[in-house]
Amino acid sequence: MKQLSSILTLLVAAIVISGCTHPMAVTNLNNYHNRTIVSLDERLRIGIRANAADLNGHRFIHAVGRDLLKYNAQSTTAVDETNEFIDVIANISVVSSQRGSGWNFWADFPGFLIWFPSWHGYNYDVVYDIDVTLNDARTGKLINSMYIPVRLDVKHADISRTWVDGVAWPTIGVSALIGGLHNMTYDETVTPLVEQEVSPVLADYVAQQIALTLHYYKSLPRDRFERLKMLLDDKLISPEEYEIKRKAIVDDI
């Protein structure tokens, strides 16, 4: 009987703990999934110069170089002064930042909806500012520069934050008030979960953007105009991007 009671206690505890958590989810990650693959007609060798504040940023840039292979581009980080063995130099910079949300306060306070954080999650914003500059390795001439902003909407909650809701009633909302103020801040434990989930998608997304820019790089002007028009017709670039790239081709003639 005691053994059955212990098992029931463990089951109840497991249900309570699982009910107090919300798995990490990035609600707008589909915005950064590549819908099509536009590969280079001619294999290009790209030398990557990485600029990141931490190891995760360097890992991300390494993943971009790896994914460039999908688009018929060979990447290397061995860039010397002569640039003899590369066609393009890609300077890639990644800066990430995170922040909490004021909305999280109301997820906890006044604490009447005990399970609300667990089924809805707390809101967090994860931001990646990615700058890419492409230069001709032989002449040093600027091919293109790109700013790729990534704004991710993240939901997550674990018991280290949701427990305050369970004791809100006995404390007449005091714990919910304190917990709500605390949970407005960003939860650092979310960062590795987000990076594991989004890095493969974002690396491929950035690699495709680089490939799109280089798609018509070494072609004759007329071919470059035709390819640019194809990108516009296939809705792979916006009309504004089309005009900017078209002007760059004209200026290059």
> So what's the pLDDT on residue 41?
78
Quick: pLDDT tens for 102-133: 677 656 656 555 656 666 678 889 999 999 99
Dihedral over Cα of 26, 32, 35, 41: its sign = negative
Based on C-alpha coordinates, what's the Rg of the chain? 25
Find how far residue 116's CA is from the centre of its chain.
27
Quick: pLDDT tens for 40-63: 878 889 999 999 988 999 999 999
> So what's the pLDDT on residue 92?
97
- Do the Cβ atoms of 161 and 183 come closer than 8 Å? yes
More reliable by pLDDT, 163 or 12: 163
Residue 48 CA: distances (Å) to CA of 23, 38, 69, 100, 240 = 35, 20, 13, 33, 27
In three-state secondary structure terms, 162 is helix
Quick: pLDDT tens for 130-159: 999 999 888 888 988 999 999 999 987 765
Instruction: Give the chain's end-to-end CA distance (angstroms, integer).
Output: 88
* Alpha-carbon span 140 to 134, nearest angstrom: 9
More reliable by pLDDT, 28 or 216: 28
More reliable by pLDDT, 241 or 205: 205
Quick: pLDDT tens for 192-205: 999 999 999 999 99
Arithmetic mean of pLDDT, 2-19: 44
HSE at residue 74, side-chain half, CA atoms within 13 A, is 9
What is the average pLDDT score of the chain? 77
Q: Check pLDDT > 90 for residue 67.
A: yes
Q: What band does 14 get if pLDDT is binned at 50, 70 and 90?
A: very low
> So what's the pLDDT on residue 151?
96
Q: Check pLDDT > 90 for residue 11.
A: no
Q: Check pLDDT > 50 for residue 66.
A: yes
Domain 23-215, classified CATH 3.30.160.150, yes or no: yes
Domain boundaries, the chain: 23-215, 219-253
Counting Cβ atoms within 10 Å, is residue 142 exposed (0-12), middle (13-18) or buried (19+)? exposed
